[in-house]
Structure 1
Amino acid sequence: MTSSFEALLPSTERALLHRVATAQAEGRAPSLVGAVARDGRLLWEGGRSCVDGHAPNADTQYRIGSITKPFTAVLVMRLRDEGLIDLADPLEKHLPGTGVGEVTVAQLLGHSAGLAAESPAPWWERTPGTLRPELADVLGEQPLLHPAGRRHHYSNTGYTLLGSLVEAVRGVTWEEALRAEILEPLGLGRTSTKPVAPHAGGWAVHPWADVMLPEPAEDLGLMASAGQLWSTAADLCRFASFLTEGDERVLSAETLREMGTPAVPPEAGDWNGGYGLGLQLVRWDTRTLVGHCGSLPGFLAGLWVSVEDGVAAVVLANATSGPPIGVVAGDLVRIVADAEPRIPEPWRPLAEVDPARLELTGPWYWGTYSYGLRVVADGGVELCPLGGQGRASRFRAEDNGTWTGLNGYYAGETLRVVRREDGSVSHLDLGSFVFTREPYEPRDAVPGGVDADGWRGL
C-alpha cells in the first residue's frame, strides 16, 4: 500500500524526538531508539544515548524478548492454515509425552492453558539454556497451576511448547522455520537469534545511583521461541505493517485479524487490555493497539500498531528497567495519528452493480428497531442501526447466495434472503431474526404473527 505522506511535519518530528529523549533521560536508559511507520513505510526514527555523539538508529539491534512470541504464533497459525494442525487439537496429538498434553494449541497461543509463567529455578533469562535440555526441565514437576481455558495466565513455558510443536510438525528447528517462513519472505534481514553488529549491549542501571552493570546475554535453548530474538526498529516496523496488512507468502490479513481477537476475558479490573493468539491488545485513549512488549535482562522493547490509523511505533532500550517502553510506543502512535490523521482515499463508485444486491439496500425493521442495509466497497453488505441502538455487522457474500457475518454480534451468523412465490423479497433471516421492510409487516413471515387489527392509537 502506498502512503499519501511524503514526510512528517517538523512539529510532529519534534514531538516524537521530545518523547524519545524524555523517555531516555527520565528512564535513565543507556540508549533508546524509536521509530514510526505508516502504511508500511518508515516515516521517522530517532535515538538517544548516554555516549555523546553515538546515538542508535533504526538499524541498531536490540534484544526484543517476548516480541519473539508473535513470530512463534505466526509459525503456528501457518501450520493451521495449511491444515497440518487444528487450534482445538490437544498438544498431545502432535507433541506426546509432555505431561500437559490435554491443553489445546489455542489455549497455549492465548495464554489460557493454565501453565506456570516461568520454568523452575534458576532464573531462566540469566542462565544458559543448556541447564534445561529437555521439555521436562522447562515444565518442572508442577507445570499446571490453573484449569485449562478458564483464565489468562501469561506463560513463557507455553510458548516453549509451541516452539517445540513447530519443530515436531515441520521437522526442522524453530530457528530454521522462522528464517524460511517469516524473516526471508518479509525481508527482515536484521532480525536474528544471536546479535549481529551493530548491536547494543545490555545494561542494568542501579535503582538508587547513576551507575551501571552489564547484563549477561544467554542463549535460551528450548525457551528461544518465547524470547530469544534480536531485531531493529526498522525490521520491527516492517513486521508491524505485516501484522496489519498480511502477506500471502506468510499469513493472510484474515488470519491476522483472527490473531488480534481476544482469546479469553482479561483479568478483573484490567478491561483496557487483553490477549489474542500471540498478540497483546490495549485500549489507548480512543484507539485499539495491537502488538507486543518484551524484556530480557538488559533490554526493553515495545511494538504497537493502530490498524485503523495505519500507524506503527517501535521503541527499544538497553536497560533492564526504567523507561516505560510500552507507554512510549503508544505515545508515538498517538502523536502521529493525532497530528497527521490519515487522508482518506477518494470516493469512487463501484466498478459494477449487482441488481439483486442493490434490491436489498435501504431500511429494514427487526420488530420496531430500524436498520439500514448498504452495499460496501468490497462487494459485501453492511447492516447498521438507524436509531443509534442495535447491532451493526458487515457480511461477506457466499457462493450459495447467503451472507456470513464478519464482525460484531453477528460474526459467523448466516444472513438469508427469503423470497415470496413471485420472486419478490419477503424478508431477511439473520440467525432466525426476521427483518421486514415495514415494522411487523402483516404479509411477511413475522414469528408469532401480527395482530389482525394492526397498529392503533390509545
Structure 2
Amino acid sequence: MTTSFEALLPGTERALLHRVAVAQAEGRAPSLVGAVVRDGTMVWNGARSCVDGHAPDAETQFRIGSITKVFTAVLVMRLRDEGLLRLDDPLERHLKGTRVGEVTIGQLLGHSGGLAAETPGQWWERSSAGLRPELADVLGEHPFLQAPGRRHHYSNPGYTLLGSLVEELRERSWEESLRHEVLEPLGMDRTTVESVAPHAGGWAVHPWADVMLPEPSEHLGLMAPAGQLWSTAADLARFAAFLSVGDERVLDADSVAEMRAPASAPGEGDWEGGYGLGLQLLRRDGRTLVGHTGSLPGFVACLWVDVEDDLAGIVLSNTTSGLPVGAVAADLVRIVADAEPRFPEPWRPLPEAEVDKELLSLTGPWYWGTYAYVLRLGPGRGVLLEPLRGTGRRARFRELPEGGWVGLNGYYEGERLRVVRRADGSVSHLDLGSFVFTREPYDPGDAVPGGVDEAGWRGL
C-alpha cells in the first residue's frame, strides 16, 4: 500500500505561510495566494493581503498571463495525438497565408521558430486588441529575428499562431476548444477568459513609494492564446495534477511527458532552464521543475511541478512587478520536499506474467570495451542499462513488438538495443546503436570490433 498523507504537518504549514508572508511584504504586493499540491491533491493554501480580513482564498481569480500558453500547447498536442497534424509539419500545411509558414508546429511550441518576442506597435498587453485585428498585425513587417530551429527565443506571437491553428483545424474558437477539451474534463470551472467574481483587481505599485495605481484589463483578442486566462489556486492545483501524470480524457501520460522534455536549445547564458512543448523547465535546489510563469499588467503568477516528488507550488498575486513568483513557487515545493520527504514505493517483485527466463538470463554484467555495465529488468519487460560503478551513460529501454528495445532517455534515447545470437542460438553480444556489449571484456571468442590481440591480457 502506498504511504500517503493528505494533511501537512503543522510545522510545514507554518513554514509555507511564513514564505508567503515574506513574499507579500518584501514584494509589496496588494495580495498574494500560495498553494501546494501533493499526490494530485491540494494539501495547503494560504494568503496575505494589504487589507486586513480580505485575503484571497483558493477560489479567488487572478489573471495568469503566460501560463495560458500551457493550455494552448495541450490543445495542439491533442490535435497531434488525433493524427490531424505532426509536430514537424510546417505551419503553412494547416494555416495558410501567414508569411511565416516554413516554421514548424514543434518549433512554435518550443519557442525556437525564430520569431520576435513581441508584436509591433503599442504594448499589446496594455492596448486594445482592435489595434491587431489580423495575424499580419501581430507579426509585423519583419516577423523573424533569426533562422527557425536555431535556438530558443521566447515568442508571444508564436502562440497566437498556435491558437489560430487550433481554430482552423477545430472550426470553432480557441476559447470553445479550451473549455470543452481541457477545462471541463479537468473540472476547472473557475478558469475563464473573462474575470468572474470573486476576482482580484490588478494593481501597479510605485517602485519608490508605497502607493498604488489600478492597471487596465484588456481583452487580448488574437493574442489570447498567449496570455488571456484568469484562474484560481484551486483550479491550477487540478492542472498541476494533470501535468504530473496526465489524464486520458485530455492527454495521456506519454504525451504529457513529451511536453515536459526539452524541445529546444536554451538561449545564451540560460543553462539552468529550458523549454519543452509549452512548458518552461527549471533546475533548482537539486530538482527539476516544469510549469510556467505568467504576467500581465497588474498580475504575476507561477505554477511549478516536481514530477519526481509529485509536488507542485502555485503563487498568484495582483501586482505588476517586484515579486519573484518563480522563486516563491519553487520555495513552496522545496519546503514540503525537505520537511516531509516522499516515502518510496515498497519494493515488490515483478508480476509473474512479466518474468521471462530467457530475458532473465540477459541480466547482469556486460562490457563495452573495458567499461563495466549492468543490465537490469524493468517493468513491462523493459530493461535498464547503467554503469556498474562511477559515472557513464544510463538509460531505460522499452520493449518493441518486433523484438529488442528502444531507448527512452539520455544518450541512448531513440537508439535500438538488440540481442545478437550465434548460429547455434546462443547469445553472442548486445548491439546498441553499433556499440557491442560482451559478457567479458575483450574476450578473444567474442565479436569485438577490430578484433582482440591474440596474446591476450598481460602484465608489465
User: Shorter-normalised TM-score: what interval?
Assistant: over 0.9
1:382 and 1:394 in contact (8 A); partners too: yes
1:113 and 1:149 in contact (8 A); partners too: yes
How many angstroms does 1:240 deviate by? 1.2
Given the alignment, which residue of 401, 405, 408 partners 1:406? 408
Unaligned runs of 5+ in 1: none
Partner of 1:49: 49
How many angstroms does 1:377 deviate by? 3.2
How many angstroms does 1:3 deviate by? 6.4
Name the count of aligned residue pairs: 458
2:289 and 2:304 in contact (8 A); partners too: yes
2:62 and 2:231 in contact (8 A); partners too: yes
Partner of 1:377: 379
Rounded to whole Å, the distance in 2 between the matches of 1:151 and 1:432 is: 30
Partner of 1:74: 74
Give secondary structure in 2 for the equivalent of 1:185.
coil
**Alpha-carbon displacement from aligned partner over 1:256-300 (angstroms, at most 9, x marks no partner):** 222122222212222101111110011112011100000000000
In structure 2, give the amino acid aligned to 1:451: D
Q: Does 1:111 align with 2:115?
A: no
In structure 2, give the amino acid aligned to 1:360: L
1:2 and 1:39 in contact (8 A); partners too: no
How many angstroms does 1:207 deviate by? 1.0
**Alpha-carbon displacement from aligned partner over 1:60-108 (angstroms, at most 9, x marks no partner):** 1100000000100111111111111111111111111111111111111
In structure 2, give the amino acid aligned to 1:176: E
Identity of matched residues, %: 74
1:363 and 1:370 in contact (8 A); partners too: yes
Within 5 Å, give how 1:88-107 maps onto structure 2: 88-107=88-107
TM-score (norm 2): 0.98
How many angstroms does 1:2 deviate by? 7.3
1:369 and 1:387 in contact (8 A); partners too: no
Partner of 1:178: 178
1:58 and 1:234 in contact (8 A); partners too: yes
How many angstroms does 1:19 deviate by? 0.3
1:3 and 1:39 in contact (8 A); partners too: no
Rounded to whole Å, the distance in 2 between the matches of 1:357 and 1:199 is: 58
In structure 1, give the amino acid aligned to 2:174: W
Partner of 2:307: 307
Give secondary structure in 2 for the equivalent of 1:48.
strand
Within 5 Å, give how 1:29-428 maps onto structure 2: 29-352=29-352, 353-428=355-430
RMSD: 1.2
How many angstroms does 1:128 deviate by? 2.0
Rounded to whole Å, the distance in 2 between the matches of 1:185 and 1:423 is: 52
Moved more, 148-157 or 294-303: 148-157
2:2 and 2:345 in contact (8 A); partners too: no
Partner of 2:455: 453
How many angstroms does 1:441 deviate by? 2.2
Moved more, 370-379 or 105-114: 370-379
2:2 and 2:346 in contact (8 A); partners too: no
Give secondary structure in 2 for the equivalent of 1:326.
helix
Moved more, 370-379 or 8-17: 370-379
Moved over 2 A (4+): none
Moved more, 446-455 or 172-181: 446-455
In structure 1, give the amino acid aligned to 2:323: P
Give secondary structure in 1 for the equivalent of 2:238.
helix
Give secondary structure in 2 for the equivalent of 1:163.
helix
How many angstroms does 1:241 deviate by? 1.4
In structure 2, give the amino acid aligned to 1:285: D
Give secondary structure in 1 for the equivalent of 2:184.
helix
1:436 and 1:444 in contact (8 A); partners too: yes
In structure 2, give the amino acid aligned to 1:349: P
Give secondary structure in 1 for the equivalent of 2:384.
strand
In structure 2, give the amino acid aligned to 1:206: H
In structure 2, give the amino acid aligned to 1:205: V
How many angstroms does 1:322 deviate by? 1.8
Rounded to whole Å, the distance in 2 between the matches of 1:378 and 1:233 is: 37
In structure 2, give the amino acid aligned to 1:355: K
Rounded to whole Å, the distance in 2 between the matches of 1:264 and 1:377 is: 30
